Amino acid sequence: MRIFTAAAATETNTFSPIRTGDANFTDWFPAGQHPDRREMFTAPLAIAREEVARREGWTLIEGLCAGAQPAGIIRRDTWERIRDEILRDLQAAMPADMVLLGLHGAMVADGYPDCEGDLLARIRAIVGPGVAIGGLLDPHCHLTPEMVAHADMLIAYKEYPHFDVFDRAQELWDRTLAVAQGQSRPVASVTDCRMIAFYYTPVEPTKSFVADLRAAEGRPGVLSASLIHGFPWGDVPHYGTKLLVYSEDDAALGGAIAEELSAKLQALRGQTMTALVSVADAVAEALGPVDASAPLVLADFSDNVGAGCPGDTTHLIGALIDAGVTDIAAAFLFDPVAVQLATAAGVGGRLPLRVGGKACSFSGKPMDLEVEVTHLASGAIHDVIVAQFDLGDVAVVKTAGNNHLVLTTKRAQCITPAAFTDFGIDLASKRVLVPKSMQHFYIMFSQASDRIRYVDSPGVATMSLHTLPFRHIDKTIWPFVETN
């Protein structure tokens, strides 16, 4: 058995001003050069290595693995370079019996609204109809007919936050291998739920819906059931939430289950994510009584780098500082110029510093602050176990009121409290924490506090979707209309 594996993954916010070019693909591992560690976007490769190592005479051929932080539209030449290198690697690996891919599902490039569909179609043209192709997806993807047509098995993570990545990669291996060995004939059934939303799986009611997905997979003849959340900030035709069910050569069964699950989900419209609070309400709570047992966590939802945002908006942080809130810690703010100026001043240096508000009209006004530099670091990493986010150079500055801002030269989502403690900030001294994230922070921050609020300030990842200039989506779905 000869298995080929490769990966191409990033999440494209088509409203983000941060273009995605070659330099953004900081995870770039040419054929055979992926390090010996588990990475989220190359989970199928990690599982394939473990499985092939246990089988005498089997061969694993590793192609290019390219991953980038979520950002704006991918340059055409960048996408074609990635795609064509993977295809060359595949050609060199032929003949192959199975292809396993680490994908995202929401990649958009100039001229390519469906990068994954483009890649899968070209892979199918090379390997032909008899080779099994499997792909692992982030549920925040756009499931397109091209993707479904050219893959034998597509499986999305079930959990958000995505703590089940490697479990789903194992499932993908098992299901795709069964196809390659002639033991399975999966048939895909897709139902469009006519909606777009966020689905927080650790809490109800989505927690129970995920249980329904697992229960469906336990029914005779059902191979896999994935909830495709959709990516709210990708302006592409195949937009929205879908149910993807694979049955064992039984389209009627798969279609019925997909429709059944879709009806359950549609009944939960408006209930599947934690309520968002306004900036004004967040400030009011921050000004309220101090809870010595736990800080107030205010997630800067709409400026989440993990959704392609610039990471430099000032709406929430600026409002807190202007209102006189003290003992704040905020991370990460993308501002290379401010880091350069703070670095020049040195630790202990004091200076007037203009922070944030630079990338686009959604970024807000720059904050003009008197600051003291409390920490500097170069080549810093935000280690979140399944990934390591390159922060570049870091400068931590303190304003009046014991407020600390963690500034970076590279964009990164704040996922764990190490975003503060790694850079000398004492969490015990803080009453308000502001992670720029929309959900991946939740697992670790919920261990430090049960006072977590999601703040919907202006930004390119706002859930006030009607404020964004969509041109290509179907606006007859919920919440653009109240009924379908």
Note the pLDDT of residue 483: 64
The CA distance from 382 to 401, in Å, is 26
Instruction: With CA atoms as reference, report the closest residue to 47 among 226, 168, 196, 200.
Output: 168
**Is 108 within 8 Å of 49 (Cβ atoms)?**
no
Residue with tokens 């991918």: 74
Order across the sheet with 222-228: list the strands. Answer: 186-192, 242-248, 222-228
The CA distance from 83 to 254, in Å, is 32
All structural domains of the chain: 2-266 (3.40.50.2300), 276-462 (no CATH)
Instruction: With CA atoms as reference, report the closest residue to 142 among 474, 417, 424.
Output: 474
| Structure tokens that stand for 280 in this block | 């004004």
Note the pLDDT of residue 397: 98
C-alpha count within 13 angstroms, C-beta hemisphere, residue 64: 21
The CA distance from 388 to 39, in Å, is 8
C-alpha count within 13 angstroms, C-beta hemisphere, residue 188: 21
pTM of the model: 0.93
Residue with tokens 């939740």: 442
pLDDT tens per residue across all 484 residues of the chain: 999 999 999 999 999 999 999 999 999 999 999 999 899 999 999 999 999 999 999 999 999 999 999 999 999 999 999 999 999 999 999 999 999 999 999 999 999 999 999 999 999 999 999 999 999 999 999 999 999 999 999 999 999 989 999 999 999 999 999 999 999 999 999 999 999 999 999 999 999 999 999 999 999 999 999 999 999 999 999 999 999 999 999 999 999 999 999 999 999 999 998 889 999 999 999 999 888 789 999 999 999 999 999 999 999 999 999 999 999 999 999 999 999 999 999 999 999 999 999 999 999 999 999 999 999 999 999 998 767 899 999 999 999 999 999 999 999 999 999 999 999 999 999 999 999 999 999 999 999 999 999 999 999 999 999 999 999 999 999 999 986 5
**Is 240 within 8 Å of 195 (Cβ atoms)?**
yes
The CA distance from 103 to 206, in Å, is 24
Note the pLDDT of residue 84: 98
The CA distance from 147 to 44, in Å, is 17
Note the pLDDT of residue 31: 98
Residue with tokens 């008899």: 130
Note the pLDDT of residue 49: 98
